[in-house]
Amino acid sequence: MIVNAYSVEALAAALFCIGLAGVLIRRNLIVVFVSVELMLNAVNLNLVALTRRADLLVPVEGDAVALFVILLAACEVAVGLGILVALYRRFGSVAIEDVGRLKE
């Protein structure tokens, strides 16, 4: 089955908008981290789709950049979840309002 490149780009745009809405609307830091990961995966999907559509002889540059972004996202999740665990141990919740209380 051949998928149209424009439909893949539309899917990537929809995923990015859903992730952006999750970042702007939600107050739980875990949901915000998941939304940021969704946005990064939407960018990766768009990057790979654009690379495939560009009619390159070797379309691995976009795949390599997408793999690098996935590796960076995994590091971000590891550091972010460590911070969230420390925040939960300190305040008992992972709400965004608790981040402002870290000054105390």
Q: What is the pLDDT of residue 60?
A: 75
Rounded distance, CA 74 to CA 96, Å? 22
CA dist 72 → 21, 80, 84 (Å)? 22, 12, 18
In the chain, what are the domain boundaries? 5-103
Pick from 15, 3, 2, 7: which is nearest to 44 by CA?
Answer: 15
pLDDT in tens, 28-46: 999 999 999 999 999 999 8
Looking at domain 5-103, does it have CATH number 1.10.287.3510? yes
pLDDT in tens, 41-93: 999 998 888 887 776 656 677 788 889 999 999 999 999 999 989 888 988 88
